[in-house]
Every structure is written in structure tokens, then in C-alpha cells.
Structure 1
Amino acid sequence: MSSIHEECGVFGVFAPKPMETAQITYYGLYALQHRGQESCGIVVNDDGQFCSHKDLGLVSEVFSEDVLSRFPRGRMAVGHVRYGTTGGTSRRNCQPIEVNHQKGKMALAHNGNLSNTDKLRDVLELSGAIFHTTSDTETIAYIITKERLKTDSIEKAVSEAMPVLDGAYSLVLMSPRKLICVRDPYGFRPLCYGKTRDGVYIVASESCAVRAVGAEVIRDVAPGEILEFSDEGVVSHREHCQEKEKKICIFEYIYFARPDSKIDGVSVHLSRVRAGRILARTHPVSADLVMGAPDSGLDAALGFSQESGIPFGIGLIKNKYIGRTFISPEQGARLDAVKIKLSAVEESVKGKRVVLADDSIVRGNTIGRVVELLRDAGAKEVHVRISSPPFLHPCYYGTDVDSEENLIACKHAVSEIAAMIGADSLGYFPVEKLSSLTEEGGFCSACFDGRYPTAIPTKIRK
């Protein structure tokens, strides 16, 4: 297994007057907790003075009531939840990253992964830069800071930095007087913004976090767009829009995002239900019960049930206090967590032919243990249906998809995988149907088909 995991969430607040922006950010990060469970952080802007707290752990663990009470009232704040693509698990890699330089302070939160990090870092180090973290977010901060020294505004510095950055980045950054958000020209990672009745602007990775703090979603940030929030209002800079073909990560719809979010106008819930319906048509089976692996398999299971006419039921109960096994830091932890995280409902599955819907199979260990749980509970048959195609290639844009040598689908045929995980049958979502999930195309599916939108330097190939 590789040390690459990742998914992150970013959040920002711009208020018309000083208020408890730390508390608002706390609730926003709480709504984005599913995107990263390794570490989190908040930086508040108190009239140009930055106050921050960052640490390893969940939002509820890092930000106690006492910690939150120490934050000053401020007009701006940025927050981040992390599971790192680049860099290890340490407090020094917690975000937002803070920078002090002669043209002012900056706090930066980043979701994504650069594909040219090593090249940029080598150039920066040879020019005298000293890095304090192993995260590619610090590389972005350096590039923006260098451009800031040449320009008269932070938004111009961001614009000048964008052509240098390859790969995925949705950013929220804060200067002493402005809040800036930007989405890379491909739009790999989601980003949206909204506004409360009190005139507070909210920026977040997902619409669920905007609504969680009482704001109404205005729209998604367009790929390549820079949004500037200041006392003069909201200004959109679109000089980098339409530079590239849109490539939203398709796995956002399959797994990452919360079902109650909309990404680029598409309901995540309906997208997953649609995937289940397609699975029922492409991989039909005779069964007594359709169930989903909590939580991201539930919507696909519902769609499979609706299309097939097989009753939907609850066959697995999830312990809500255990993190996602997909992003467990170590293989042993992933295996041990399955029994703690899930338990089978014997009354539902005993003697039944069961269809189990799940979002993906990466290495095969977790799904095998889930099938075993259902067998132990008396399931007569277990037919696994996966709402994504087989993983065949690594991801370089911020998703925990490992090297080919660690991907089970690269080594084994579907029938072999079914036998390995103990399933009576196995069906994957057809790769040629992925466009049905977003209704409009414009997505990245490189982990399934190997078509990478950017050049991947040989040095960082997994």
C-alpha cells in the first residue's frame, strides 16, 4: 500500500462586520468532516492580525469549547480538514498554511494535488526557498508569494501563479483585507459559495457546508475562476476560465461528496441512485434483498432496488464514530476497523439472497470482510455490485488510488475477484456509462481509463 490517501475540505468566511467567524468555520468544517479526518485548522483575521489553531484529529477533538472561546471576533476566517496526498501525518502539515512577508500576511487552505510539485519545489529550493512542511500546499503558497511581490494585489498574484500550477487545486486564501477563492482551470475539485441573510459570504468545498451555517448557495465557482471578496463586494476574475476542458473528479459523485451536496449543479444523491439503476440493468441478478454498505453505498442500493424491483432493506449497521476505512492510515488499521465499524442485521439477511451495493473496490480487503460478515449472519447468497468501474490506474489529483501493483483489478479478472472476496457474483459499473452520472460529461476518470488530463512526470509516477 502507498502512503497516499487524501481528500480535503476547505471553508472560508467573509463578514460585513466582526463576528464569531471561528464558530461559523467550526460548523462548516464539521459538515465537511467526511472529506478529511487526519487534521484540521482555523485561522481568523482580526483586523489584520491572524489568530490560528491547528492540530491532528477530528474537528470535535481539535476545537473544544475552550479553544473556540479563545478566538477573537473577526471579519474573515479560513478553515481546512485534511487527509494528505503529499506529505506525512504530522502537525507541521496541518492547514491552513500561514505566510508572513513584506506585502502582508496570507493564510491558505488547499484541496487537491499538484502533478508538478517536485519540479516546482526543486526550482524553489535552488533559488533559496526553505520548506517547513512536506505538503504541496506550501509550494502553492511560495509561488503566490513570489508573484505577490511583483503585483499590487493578492488576486493578481493568484492569477499570475495559476499558469505555473499543474493539477488539482481548489483554494481559499485570506489576506489582511480580502478573502480569495480559486478553482483550477480543469475544475478537478469542487468549490462553491453562498450568502447568509446577514450578508456573510461563505465559501466551501461542498454545498452541504454552505447550508449547514445558514447560508443560501449562490453558485459553484467556475473552473479557472478567481473570486475576490472585499468591502467593495464580490468580484469575479475569469481570465483563466475555459483555458482547459472541464475535468471534475468523477469520484466526487461516486464516493467523496456528501449525498445532500450538489456539485456543478448535479445532485450527488441522484447521481448515485442513477448509478444503482444502471447497475441493475447491466448486471441483473435474482435476489431477495438489496442493501448498501453504509454510507456511500446506500444511494446506489436504492437505485438498484428501484430499477430491479427487489426490496431495499437495511442489512448493515455502521458505528458512526469510526472513520472511513477507505482512508485508514495503515492496512492493519483498515482490516481491524471493519468489524468495529460494521455489524450485520441477522434478522434482515438470514436465509436471504442479498445484493450488496458499495462504491468501489481498491485492494479488496474491506469488501471481503463485509461479505464475510453477511455470510456469518446467515446470508444464503451475496452478490456484490460496485457503483464505480474497476480501478486500473493511480490518481495524481488527490484521491487515494494506489499504484497498479496494489490495485486488485490490475491483477485479477472479475470472476477471480468475486472468488477472492467470497461473493457469489460481482458486477462493476460500466466505464462507458460514467457520463450518465454527471448528465453533462466533463469529468476526470483517469483512475479507471488511464486518460490523464495533465502530463505526469516520470519522477512521481507511482
Structure 2
Amino acid sequence: MNQNIFENEFTDGIHEECGVFGIYDLDGGEVASSIYYGLFALQHRGQESCGIAVSDTKGPKGKVLAYKDMGLVNEVFTPETLDKLNGNIGIGHVRYSTAGSSSRENAQPLVLNYVKGTLGIAHNGNLINAIELRKELEYTGAIFQTTIDSEVIAYHIARERLNCGAVEQAVARAMDKIKGAYSLIVMSPRKLIGARDPYGFKPLCVGKRDNAYVLASETCALDAVGAEFIRDVLPGEIVTINSDGIVSDTSRCNQKISRCIFEYIYFARPDSTFDGVSVYNSRIMAGRLLAKLHPVEADLVVGVPESGNDAALGYSLETDIPYGKAFVKNNYVGRTFIKPKQNQRETSVRIKLNVLKEVVKDKRIIMIDDSIVRGTTSARIVGMLKAAGAKEVHVRISSPPFKYPCYFGTDIPSGDQLIATGHTIEEIRNMIGADSLGYLEVETLPELIDEGMTFCDGCFTGNYPMEPPEDDIRGEYER
């Protein structure tokens, strides 16, 4: 499906990915409420739909209970709904679609009934060979119920399961066919399986609470359910949890790792760690680097909530310019990009953010944000600060300019929609109405993470860790 024309024209900002969560209580305890709280902690990764699927290892083999719908976690699930999801093993998902339809059918987890039983899957990422694999399946009789590439993965696991003895082996064989970015949590009636693509684009970690094992996109979700962080799932690794405990298959851990650098800049919650690196520390460092690269005399440093706050603090720490709060954010307003008409979207921006006039009046402001995509939102926020009485607004961005699309699960549009493509920094500064503009430089990105760690910066440089598809498939299939 093609992306909605209104989204193409009026959407600005980078959108979150999806979040996955899974738990297996070896003592047989109910897990639905734990999945609920885990998803609540991951809500920032997807705010369009969510779902939970559970299995009871003590009950009838193959029976899986599931519920999913459009909306936030606390909107979709009630105490009564959770009480009906009885099981000691389960998976959950929060979703943001990159493009195309946003519908209940595309919500996850996906639950597939096939000859070997039942399979549940929750997926974060994006496949670059989804169209090819889908056509192969359709030519052999597969009927698809969704437009998401996650269903392609589910079908391949199910088909491979017919030819091998265990579901974890089917996951391994499917991994040999799929290409792109994925963190998967797969549930069979008796097992919970986590898998991470060999490049390690997306985060996935393992935790433990008493005699229950937990898989989650971020460590903040482990904290939310009282689980102790054990370790990150390695890129290319498959971990299998069954009644005997946890086992690992690292036979596919042989690829050069290319973590998504934007997890550290924006996606992950600041209280999470990703492959041993604190997200909060990365953002503080980004602010410090911005201060060194683009110093300016000013009275106050402010962040655009929430993603710009930590980098703004880093800028303040480096320069001794006071850090302050210039915006009040209404956390109960739906995401602005969902609005189909421009005048509705502009209203949402004004409702979502408001300026503290007494803080910015007659001051020179340094405004820190994580990115500029199309520039429309940045221009509005700069305009709001100046309308509130700010004498100057100096914009600093804690990432390099976006010049290329992302094919691995980040909603960065095609180059003709990116303001940094075809415009100089001075032209962008003028377009957003700022008094000065400075970006983080690509060469400084390694300083955000540990020395020697490798990452993907394709959206900034056009250098992708694998060959991108010839056609932009992102409007056809979503995660």
C-alpha cells in the first residue's frame, strides 16, 4: 500500500519502531499482567496498536489466547481483558507502522494456526526481501491476512517447522532466508524463543525474575516488571527458553555488527542500556559534542521534549550556560502524524507543546532537538519561542543531517522529502527561522558509544551495511 498523501506532505520527525516483550514463568505463574507492564514501559516505541498472546504449558497443548487492538496499552487492555488471558508463557507487542494501512489486522502479536499447532510472533524491524519472499509463498498457496512483513517471517517459520524437529530449528532456518533488521520473539505452546538479526540492528535483551525468564526490546521493560538484566541477545543469536531453562545457538553470530545509531540518539528510553551502553550517557555526550562543535553565546539551553532534553543538559554541562525548561508537553495528545489534514495537525502541535513565556522572554535560547526531517515541526517550534518573546533562537541538532532513507525499520522518508537533501545548512536555518543552526557531525558519532563498537549510519551517509532493495519497499510492507 502507498503511504497516505497527507502523511507524506505534513509529517515531520522520526517515528518510533516497535517494541517486543516475552516472558516464560517456569513455576507456572500467570504472565499477562507482567506483559502489560512490560509493554507499558515500551509504549514510546509504538503507539498505534498493541497486543498480547499467552499459552498455558499446563493446559491443552496448542491452545493460545490472544487479544490485540488499535490504541495505547492502557486503552486496549482492561483488568477484565487481562484476567481472560490465562497462561504462564506469553508475548506482547506495541506497534508503529512505517507506512500503509494502520489497522487491527496488522497489529501484533501474530498468531498462526498450522498443522504442527500454534505459533505466535512479535517482530521489531524491517525486511528488505519481504516482497520476494511473500511472492514465493503466495505462488505456493499461502494466503496472507495482513500487509506486514512479520507475517512473511511467521509463514517461513511454520513451513520450516514441517521439515525439522524443533521450533527453534525452524527459526534458525527462517533466519537463513530473511534479510534485514529484526528482533523476534516467537512463542510455541511450550517454548519461548528470542532471535536477533546477525547485524544487530535492533536491541533485544534477556532478564530473569525469580524462576521466570524475560525477553524485551529494552532494559527499561525489565525494570518495569522487577526482572534482573542478564545480558543482551547477541547479533545473530537464538535463545530458547523451555521448562528446563535457557539454551543458546550462536552459530549465526559471524556478521559485522551494525547497530542502529539512532537507538542511542532517539529511539530507546534514556533509562535503558543497549549492548552495554547507557542511552542517557550517549545523549549527554551528544550535547557536549554539540557544544564543542557549535558554541554560541546565549542565556538558556532548552530541549524539545522528550528526546532533546538529555542532549540539552549535556550542552549546558559543557558550556555552563544554564539548562532550563521552556516547554510544557501534554502527554495525553495522540501522535500528531496520525492527523489526516494539515489544519488538524497544526492544532495538535500547538496542543501538544506550549511555551513557558516567562522562561524565554527577552532571552537568547539554544534549542536542542534530536533531528530535523522535513523541517515543518522545527519551524513551528522556533516560531513559538519567538512569539513567546525569545530574542534569539539557536537550534542545535544531536544527529547529523538526514540525507538518505532507512530500509531497516526506521521511518526516514525518501530523499526528496528530506530537508537536508538539496539544501545547505544555511538554507535550512533560514527555512526554520532560526538565528543559527548546527548539527552533530558524522565523524563524532563513535564518541556516543563504546570504542570499537560498530553501527549503521546509512541515513546520514548512504553507506548501508547490506545492499538496499532496488525499489523502495517501505510503502508495501510494514513491521
Q: TM-score, normalised by structure 2?
A: 0.93
Match of 1:176 among 170, 189, 200: 189
Match of 1:232 among 241, 244, 247: 244
Asked if 2 retains the 8 angstrom alpha-carbon contact of 1:86 and 1:113, the reply is: no
RMSD of aligned alpha carbons: 1.5
Whether 1:90 aligns to 2:100 is: no
Whether 1:376 aligns to 2:404 is: no
In structure 2, C-alpha distance between the alignment counterparts of 1:381 and 1:6, rounded to whole Å: 31
Q: Give the CA deviation at 1:373.
A: 1.1
Per the alignment, residue 66 of structure 2 pairs with: 52
Q: How does 1:303-452 map to 2 (within 5 A)?
A: 303-325=314-336, 328=338, 330=340, 332=342, 334-440=345-451, 441-452=453-464
In structure 2, C-alpha distance between the alignment counterparts of 1:179 and 1:401, rounded to whole Å: 32
Per the alignment, residue 204 of structure 1 pairs with: 216
Q: Which moved more, 1:132-141 or 1:62-71?
A: 62-71
Partner SS state of residue 27, structure 2: strand
Per the alignment, residue 165 of structure 1 pairs with: 178
Asked if 1 retains the 8 angstrom alpha-carbon contact of 2:128 and 2:473, the reply is: no
CA gap 1:334/1:168 in 2 versus in 1, 3 angstroms: farther
Per the alignment, residue 134 of structure 1 pairs with: 147
Asked if 2 retains the 8 angstrom alpha-carbon contact of 1:6 and 1:398, the reply is: no
Asked if 2 retains the 8 angstrom alpha-carbon contact of 1:116 and 1:456, the reply is: no
In structure 1, C-alpha distance between the alignment counterparts of 2:422 and 2:305, rounded to whole Å: 27
Per the alignment, residue 21 of structure 2 pairs with: 11
Match of 2:201 among 183, 188, 199: 188
In structure 1, C-alpha distance between the alignment counterparts of 2:64 and 2:385, rounded to whole Å: 52
In structure 1, C-alpha distance between the alignment counterparts of 2:110 and 2:251, rounded to whole Å: 26
Q: Which amino acid aligns with 1:230?
A: N
Asked if 2 retains the 8 angstrom alpha-carbon contact of 1:25 and 1:77, the reply is: yes
Q: Give the CA deviation at 1:85.
A: 2.9
Deviation sequence 1:401-451 (CA, Å, 0-9, x none): 000111000021111111111100010110111111112331111111001
Q: Give the CA deviation at 1:330.
A: 4.5
Q: Which amino acid aligns with 2:101?
A: G
Per the alignment, residue 125 of structure 2 pairs with: 112
In structure 2, C-alpha distance between the alignment counterparts of 1:14 and 1:461, rounded to whole Å: 35
Q: How does 1:236-315 map to 2 (within 5 A)?
A: 236-242=248-254, 244-315=255-326
In structure 1, C-alpha distance between the alignment counterparts of 2:49 and 2:169, rounded to whole Å: 30
Q: Which amino acid aligns with 2:50?
A: C
Q: Which amino acid aligns with 2:221?
A: A
In structure 2, C-alpha distance between the alignment counterparts of 1:364 and 1:331, rounded to whole Å: 17
Report percent identity of matched pairs.
Answer: 56
Partner SS state of residue 435, structure 1: helix
Q: Which amino acid aligns with 1:411?
A: G
Asked if 2 retains the 8 angstrom alpha-carbon contact of 1:290 and 1:312, the reply is: yes
Whether 1:151 aligns to 2:164 is: yes
Partner SS state of residue 459, structure 1: coil
Per the alignment, residue 45 of structure 2 pairs with: 35
Partner SS state of residue 410, structure 1: coil
CA gap 1:323/1:216 in 2 versus in 1, 3 angstroms: farther
Asked if 2 retains the 8 angstrom alpha-carbon contact of 1:335 and 1:365, the reply is: no
- Count of aligned pairs: 458
Partner SS state of residue 125, structure 2: strand
Match of 2:234 among 205, 212, 222: 222
Q: Which amino acid aligns with 1:416?
A: E
In structure 1, C-alpha distance between the alignment counterparts of 2:72 and 2:207, rounded to whole Å: 25
Partner SS state of residue 320, structure 1: coil
In structure 2, C-alpha distance between the alignment counterparts of 1:273 and 1:37, rounded to whole Å: 26
CA gap 1:86/1:135 in 2 versus in 1, 3 angstroms: farther
Q: Which amino acid aligns with 2:69?
A: D
Q: Which amino acid aligns with 2:361?
A: K
Q: Give the CA deviation at 1:67.
A: 1.4
CA gap 1:114/1:392 in 2 versus in 1, 3 angstroms: same
Asked if 2 retains the 8 angstrom alpha-carbon contact of 1:225 and 1:238, the reply is: yes
Partner SS state of residue 200, structure 2: coil
Q: Which amino acid aligns with 2:182?
A: Y
Asked if 1 retains the 8 angstrom alpha-carbon contact of 2:16 and 2:44, the reply is: no
Q: Give the CA deviation at 1:331.
A: 6.7
In structure 1, C-alpha distance between the alignment counterparts of 2:272 and 2:50, rounded to whole Å: 21
Q: TM-score, normalised by structure 1?
A: 0.96
Partner SS state of residue 426, structure 1: strand
5+ residue gaps, structure 1, are: none
Match of 1:26 among 31, 36, 45: 36
Asked if 2 retains the 8 angstrom alpha-carbon contact of 1:414 and 1:426, the reply is: yes
In structure 2, C-alpha distance between the alignment counterparts of 1:314 and 1:97, rounded to whole Å: 42
Q: Which amino acid aligns with 2:306?
A: D
Q: Give the CA deviation at 1:334.
A: 4.4
Greater relative contact order, per chain length (Cα 8 Å cut-off, separation 6+): 2
Whether 1:67 aligns to 2:81 is: yes
CA gap 1:41/1:123 in 2 versus in 1, 3 angstroms: same
In structure 2, C-alpha distance between the alignment counterparts of 1:128 and 1:313, rounded to whole Å: 60
Q: Which amino acid aligns with 2:412?
A: V
